[in-house]
Structure 1
Amino acid sequence: MLPPFYFLVPVLGGYAVTSYYLLKNPHILQKKKRLAFHCRHISHRGGAGERIENTIEAFDNAITHHTDLLELDCHMTKDGRVVVSHDGNLYRQTGHDVNISDVTYEELPQYKESLEVTFFPGHMSSGTDHHIPLLEDVFHRYPDKPINVEIKEDNDELIKKVSDLVRTYQRMERTIWASTSDKVMKKCRKENPEMPFMFTPRRGVILLLLYYTGLLPFVDLPESVVETCMPSIINRTYFPGNPLMRNRFLVYLQNKLIMRKSLFQHLEDRGIQVYFWVLNQESDFRKAFNCGVTGVMTDYPSKLHTFLQEYEGEQRSRGAEDTYVRTPSNI
C-alpha cells in the first residue's frame, strides 16, 4: 500500500496550479463588479492638509484639484442633523469639550483657526471656512462626485438618515458605506444594500488569509472597496494610538503581507478597488502606485494631482518606448 504522501503531493500540486491560474484569470469563476467610479485621487477629509478638514472650503479645493473621491465622516447632533465631522467630541477641532450628540446643530462651535494634520504631525492647515457642514449640503453641492461616507458611531438613526439622504439625492451608485465596525457595517448594508461598501478590518484579515491559502479565487467577495493603511507610513507619518500597532516587527510583518502586487491585480481584475490611506509624500504616492493600488487617499489634493500628472506621463512614455522596441522593424 502506497503511503498517503504519494497521493497528497499531486493533490496539493494540482490545487496550487489551479489556484494560481484562477488568481491570474478570476473572470473564469467570478463576475467582475462594475462600479460607477474608478478612483485614483482621493481627498482625505476633503484634503485636511490644505484647508480645514471636512469643510466645504476643503471639498471645493479638492474638486479644483480634480479629486475622484471625497472622503468624509459623519455624526448626528442632538436635534437629529447629520453633520460632517471626524470626531464625536469637538475638543481637538474647536477647542471646546463638546460632544456633537449633546448639542443642536445651531449650537455647534466653529473650527479653530488652524489644525494639525493628523497624518502629517507638525504640519498645520488653515482656511477661511470654520463651519461644520451638514451632509445634505455636501450632497447638494457635489451631486455627481463619488463620496466615501464613514459612519463614526453605532447609531441606527444616523445610519437611516444617511441612507435616506443618499436615496433623496439619487446617489446610491456613487456613495460608499465605510466603517471599521462589523456591527455597524452590517446595519449599513441592511439599511441600504444598493450602496457599495468597504472591507472592515476583520474582513481585510480574512481577505489576506484567503490569498495566502490559495482560496481567494474560489470565494465570492461582496465588498467593492479595500481601504487600508500602507504599513510603511506607521511610526513615520502615522502613529496609531494602540502601542501594539506601533511594534516594529508587526509593522514589518504587515508590510510583507499586504504589499502584494498580485493580490491588488487580482482584486482590480474582479472590479474591487484598493485605496491606501493616508499618504502625504511623493515617495509614498509612488510606492503605492508602483505596487498596483487603484488609488491613494491624501491630505494634499494639489500635491497628489501634480504627482499623478507626472506619474501617468511617465507611464505613457514607458509604454510608448516598449511599443517602439517591440515593433517588427526594431527586432
Structure 2
Amino acid sequence: MRDWRAKNEVKPSPITNKDGMTEQEFLQKYDASRYARPSVTVDMLIFTVADEQEPNYRKLSPKSLQILLVKRADHPFMGQWALPGGFVSPDESLEEAALRELREETNIDDIYLEQLYTWGEVNRDPRTRVISASYMALVDSERLEVKAGDDADDARWFRVEDKWLRENKIATETGTITEKWVALRFWNEAEELSATVKITRTVSGRTVREEREIVETNQVAFDHAKIIQYALERLRNKIEYTDIAFALMPELFTLTELQQVYEVILGKELLAAAFRRKVADKVIETNHYRKHAGHRPSKYYRFHPEWTDQA
C-alpha cells in the first residue's frame, strides 16, 4: 500500500534572487572581475630567547630576546631588512603559505605558527594593494638551522628591544585620546636597525580604537616596524596566561632558568617568590638536580602537560 503522504508531498520551490536565479545559476554566471582583487601576503614574526656570552661561569648566561629578519634581494626596499613572508597563491591556505614562505626564505620548517593580526591599510605596500596576515611563533633557535633562500639575500637573528619615549593624553567631549611613541632597536654583530612607532588610542564612549603609524625608520622595510611592535605587546601578554614560554625550554629546567626567560620577554625583573607562585600550576617537580661549580644544586622541573589556559 503506497504511503499517501509520499503521493501528496509538495517539493519546495528553489530559492531564487531578485533576478529569478537559483544559487547554481548565479554561480555559473558570476563574474569575479567585477570587483578589484587585492593581493594577499603573509608575514612571520619568529622570536627566540638566546644566551649571551657570560665570562663568569658562576652565573647563568644572560639572555636576549631576538627576532628573525631577512634582507630583501629586490625592489621595493632592496637591501633593507624585513619579516620573512611573501604572496599567497590561489591554491593554498594562509597557514600553508606562511609555512612555505618561511621554509623558502629561512630554511625553517615544521614549527607551530599562530595567527597574530591582519594588516590592511591601503598604501602599506608601494607595489599594489596588499592585505597581509601576520603569524607569530616563539622557538628555540638552537634547534634551527637558519639559511637564506632564493628570495632573500640574508637571514639573521637580531636582538630586539623597545623603549617608551613619551606619552600625551588629551581629554575630549566623549572620552580621551592617548598618544604614545615607542622606539625600536634591532642589532647583531654586523648591523643595527631602528624605528619609531606612534600609537594613538582613542576612547569615545564605549568605543576604543587603536592606530599605529611609523614616525621614522632606519633600514626596516614596509610597515614591519609597527607589526613587530604590536607583536611584542601580544607576546608579553600571552606569556602571562599561556604556556608559550615553554617552547624555549628543554625537557628539564630549573625555575631560575624559566624565570630568566620570562624576564627577558617581559623586559623587567621578577621577584623569585612571586614568580614561583605564578608558575606553580604549570610545572612539575622532579627528583633530578642540576649540579655545577660554585652553586648549590638546583632542582629540575618539567612542564605540566595537563595544564590548560585559564584565560
TM-score normalised according to structure 1 size: 0.21
The structure number with the bigger radius of gyration is: 2
TM-score normalised according to structure 2 size: 0.22
Of Structure 1 and Structure 2, the greater strand share is in: 2
